[in-house]
Structure formats: C-alpha cells, structure tokens
C-alpha cells in the first residue's frame, strides 16, 4: 500500500536535526505488510512521536526517506569502436527529439571507413537533443544525443526511539504487493522493424518504412517488401496518368483537307552540357583514398606469369557437386587461397609486415587472406581468417558468407581487419594482366586475369588447348627481391597445375 505525504509541519520536533530535512511533502509511504482491510494511510499532519494512521500504531524507528526523482541530462557520446577509427558518418537516426528510449534500444546507424555499426542506448530516458544531421561526420568521443534520465537518491532517517510495537512503514518505494504502480508511458510512435541493409535499400528508393507492410517475423520489413512497394507505387502512378481523348467518330474523306507543307521550325540550340556537382567523400571511398595514399609510399615491383588451370578446373567440378550437399558453392577461389597458404608457409616473408617504428619485420602466424570485392559501396577487401588451418570446404563457406555480406553492404568490422595477403580476381570482370596495388600494412598482392583457352605445347611437343590464367604480383621491394617472389609463384603454380600434390600438405 503506497501513499503520499500532504503536510509535515511539526516533524522536526522529534526527528534528529540532521535527518528531518529528508522528509518532504509528496513522499510515498509504503507498508511492509497490510495494516487493515480498509486502511487509507495519508500523512496530513505529524504532531506526535507515536504515529497513528486510522487507529493503527506504527514503529517510528523503521521510517526511511527517499528523495524525489531528480532529472538529469546526460550527453550520450560516441564510444571508441576500435581499429583506430576516429570519425564516422551518421547514416540513419532511429530516434527523434522527445522519444523515450531504454537500454539497448537502437539510437542510430553509423558508417566508418570499414563497416556499418548500429549504436544502442546505455540509458533509460528521453531524447532531448540530436547533435548531427544525416551524412554528417561524428567524431569518436563527441556526443550523439542528449538523454534526460531520472535518478533517485535514497537516504535513511536516523533510528528514532521506539514507543510502541506496530507495523514498520517505509517512506519511499514499497516492495509489497499493495504498492501503487504507475502505468508505463506510451511510446511516441512505432518504428518499423528492419535490418540496416534493408534500411539502406529503402533510402536508395526514397521509401518511408512506415508506409511498407512488413511480411517478416513480428512484422519485420524485408527487401522483398521494399521492392514490391516500389513496383506497386510505380504501377499506380502509370494508371493515374491522364490519357489523351479519342474522337468518337473518324472524319469522312470529304472533310479531310489536303495537307499543306509546313514550315521547318527553327529550334534553339540545345545545351547538352551537364552542370558540375560536388559529392562528399565518405564510406568505403574514404578508406580507399587513405589506403592508396599510404600505398604510394611503398616501392612496388611487379612479377607476371601464367598458370594452366585445366586440371584444377576438373577438380573443382568434382568438389562443386560435393559442396551442393552442404549448400555451398565451391569456386576456384578457395583452391587458389589454400594453395597460396601452403606456399606462404614456405615463404613467410610474403606473409609479413614492416614495422618501421621499431626497425623490424613482423612475421604473421595466421594466413588471413583477403579477397578484393566489387560491391555497390565500392572496392572492399574482406579476408578469410586462418586459411592455413581450414579445409577447402570451410574456406568456401567463409568466402560465401563474405560475399553475402558484400551484396547486402553490411560487413562486420572483423571481416575487414587483420589481412596479411590479398588475392584480386579482376578476371571475373575482364582483363588479363594488371598492376595491383599493395594494401598497407601488407607487403604483397596478386591479381588474376580471366581464363582463356589458348594453344600450348605439352611435354611431347604436341599442341593442346590450355586453360590459361595470367597472374600479376606486386611486392614491397624494401624487404623482398624478385627472386623470392618468383620462387613463391613457382610453388603456388605447381600446386594449381597439379592439385593432387596439395594432398601431401593439407591439414
């Protein structure tokens, strides 16, 4: 049972001088057990040391006081999200000023140079201020929003002299079943449930998620819902467009006048030049600019060769059928990566980094092999971790997951960090030879061209149809020479041209 103090004019006569200030009008009183079936305890006046509420005596030494709720505005700052990231771009707000938020509620989605991250609240309260517009830059450590929270300071009144046995009362919040509970405040508006990738698609089509009927779990909006909404909107627009009026009766031949030659109109010159436009550098484009600027300090040297992947293609066809059992698409790339890992074990210098600050070379124990991907957000190089200890099937599964993340534009931060060696399959788009650029702090990269069926001589001097892929290496000439890269390429090439030889070293 919970009640409110209306007046406390003379309580200071019997409360200790240091404690009387904690009892205030408006404090709630809660009984630890029921006093009577019809007791209504409201403190109207306090004149005696022995409290009596509806003829029920209470134990005065068990009184406690808790201060009223105090509102406090806390700046919610952008925490460090790792990888040395100092700034992010605000891509979407999930709250607005006046919204009530709870712990772990989504506040906004930000995009760093490497990944998209959803920021969640650490407080319960009301959003009173938003510091950044969409596509604005937010610095790590700077506030994103202000949240008004409520805090309670609980102070115990000093023990008073016991006068008569009775029920203990507590001024403050009650733990009993009879306490009065306030109804939860209603939310300012329902938010559509959708993943960051779906929200990004909606942003591209300029679709408000509130107008889309979600078909996913708990009404979650899916990618298919966005596309269906766009198609329906386009169809309605075409149906509502006015049509030209059609004459109900065709003119007779007698009413048709002979055509007269019309004068050729003189049209004004058409200016087809488009105006210049400026676009802010953000997202993965910022990463590419920073990475390529740092790569300009590395002295590159190139090495090219060709590999006959005829036998590797036959093996891939067999593995493709086996992979379908696990719903995994086995391509040539997992085989390229596993063969590269076996060669890296023999040439660890290619799987190293250069520590100029300490005049040292760091040999990496893990083979985290990156794969350059062309996504709708630009060039991204995620990597498969610990290739040296994984099977070809496990590599294919990890690679398939990375490709799905790339299609959705939602890489995890861990997908994009820690790479030690990179393979670029530019041949999937076109081209034979290229000059790849090293991704710091790595020291080597290889790019592969498209597969071509070309005539080549076999060991007996006969002309055969060979399946040729041209490969192009770039290496850091500060710690590697051409002979090292040539030997590495020869070993890698032998594994790919004779894939059965890899069986001796697979783990």
Interacting residues of 126 by C-beta distance below 8 A, sequence separation 6+: 98, 99, 100, 101, 147, 148
DSSP label of 211: G
CA dihedral 226, 227, 230, 232 (to 10 degrees): -110
Cβ contact 405:414 at 8 Å: no
Give me the residue label for tokens 């087809």.
272
Q: Does the N-terminal peptide bond of residue 441 adopt cis geometry, omega within 30 degrees of 0?
A: yes
Neighbouring residues of 23: CB distance < 8 A, sequence distance ≥ 6: 5, 8, 11, 15, 63, 65, 157, 171
* Residue recorded with tokens 């920073």: 290
Quote the tokens at residue 32. Answer: 């630890």
Reduced to 3 states (helix: H, G, I; strand: E, B; else coil), residue 68 is coil
Provide the β-strand partners of residue 444: 475
Nearest of 235, 193, 197, 230 to residue 215 by alpha carbon: 193
Return the structure tokens found at 194.
């959708």
Give the SS3 label for residue 224.
helix
Report the candidate in 305, 298, 280 with the shortest Cα–Cα distance to residue 447: 305
Check: CB of residue 148 under 8 Å from CB of residue 158: no
Q: Which residues are catalytic?
A: 477, 481
Neighbour tally for 250: CB within 10 Å: 7
CB 153 within 8 A of CB 90: no
User: Is residue 61 classed as helix, strand or coil in its secondary structure?
Assistant: helix
Please tell me the distance from the alpha carbon of residue 381 to that of residue 114, in angstroms, as a whole number. Answer: 10
Element containing residue 492 per DSSP (H, E): helix 482-497
Cα–Cα distance, 140 to 112 (Å, whole number): 11
Phi and psi at 486, nearest 5°, equal: -65, -45
């Amino acid at each position: 049972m919970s009640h409110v103090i209306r007046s406390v004019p003379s309580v200071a006569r019997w409360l200790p001088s240091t404690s009387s200030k904690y009892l205030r009008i408006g404090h709630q009183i809660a009984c630890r057990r029921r006093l009577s079936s019809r007791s209504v305890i409201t403190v109207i006046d306090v004149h005696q040391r022995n409290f009596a509420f509806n003829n029920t005596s209470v134990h005065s030494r068990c009184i406690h006081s808790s201060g009223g709720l105090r509102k406090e505005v806390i700046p919610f700052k952008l925490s460090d999200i790792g990888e040395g990231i100092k700034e992010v771009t605000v891509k979407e707000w999930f709250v607005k000023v006046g919204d009530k938020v709870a712990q772990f509620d989504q506040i906004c989605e930000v995009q760093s140079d490497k990944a998209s991250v959803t920021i969640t609240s650490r407080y319960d309260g009301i959003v009173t201020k938003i510091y950044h517009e969409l596509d604005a830059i937010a610095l790590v450590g700077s506030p994103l929003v202000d949240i008004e929270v409520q805090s309670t300071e609980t102070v115990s009144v000093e023990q008073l002299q016991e006068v008569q046995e009775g029920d203990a009362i507590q001024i403050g919040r009650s733990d009993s079943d009879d306490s009065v509970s306030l109804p939860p405040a209603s939310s300012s508006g329902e938010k559509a449930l959708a993943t960051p990738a779906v929200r990004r698609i909606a942003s591209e089509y300029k679709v408000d998620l509130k107008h889309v009927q979600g078909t996913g779990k708990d009404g979650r909006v899916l990618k298919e819902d966005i596309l269906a909404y766009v198609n329906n909107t386009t169809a309605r627009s075409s149906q509502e467009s006015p049509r030209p009026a059609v004459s109900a009766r065709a003119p007779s031949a007698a009413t048709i006048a002979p055509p007269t030659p019309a004068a050729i109109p003189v049209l004004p010159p058409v200016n087809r030049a488009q105006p210049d436009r400026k676009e802010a550098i953000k997202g993965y484009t910022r990463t590419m600019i920073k990475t390529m600027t740092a790569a300009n300090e590395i002295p590159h040297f190139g090495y090219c060769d060709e590999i006959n992947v005829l036998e590797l293609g036959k093996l891939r066809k067999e593995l493709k059928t086996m992979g379908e059992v696990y719903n995994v698409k086995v391509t040539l790339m997992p085989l390229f990566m596993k063969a590269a890992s076996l060669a890296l074990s023999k040439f660890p210098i290619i799987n190293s980094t250069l520590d100029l600050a300490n005049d040292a070379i760091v040999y990496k124990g893990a083979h985290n092999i990156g794969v350059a991907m062309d996504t709708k957000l630009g060039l991204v190089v995620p990597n498969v971790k610990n290739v040296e200890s994984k099977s070809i099937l496990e590599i294919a599964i990890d690679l398939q997951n990375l490709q799905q993340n790339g299609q959705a534009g939602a890489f995890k931060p861990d997908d994009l960090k820690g790479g030690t060696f990179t393979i670029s399959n530019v041949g999937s788009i076109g081209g034979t030879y290229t000059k790849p650029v090293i991704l710091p702090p790595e020291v080597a990269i290889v790019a592969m061209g498209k597969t071509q069926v070309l005539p080549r001589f076999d060991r007996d001097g006969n002309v055969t149809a060979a399946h040729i892929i041209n490969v192009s290496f770039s290496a850091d000439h500060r710690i590697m020479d051409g002979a090292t890269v040539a030997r590495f390429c020869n070993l890698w090439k032998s594994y790919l041209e004779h894939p059965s030889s890899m069986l001796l070293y697979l783990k």
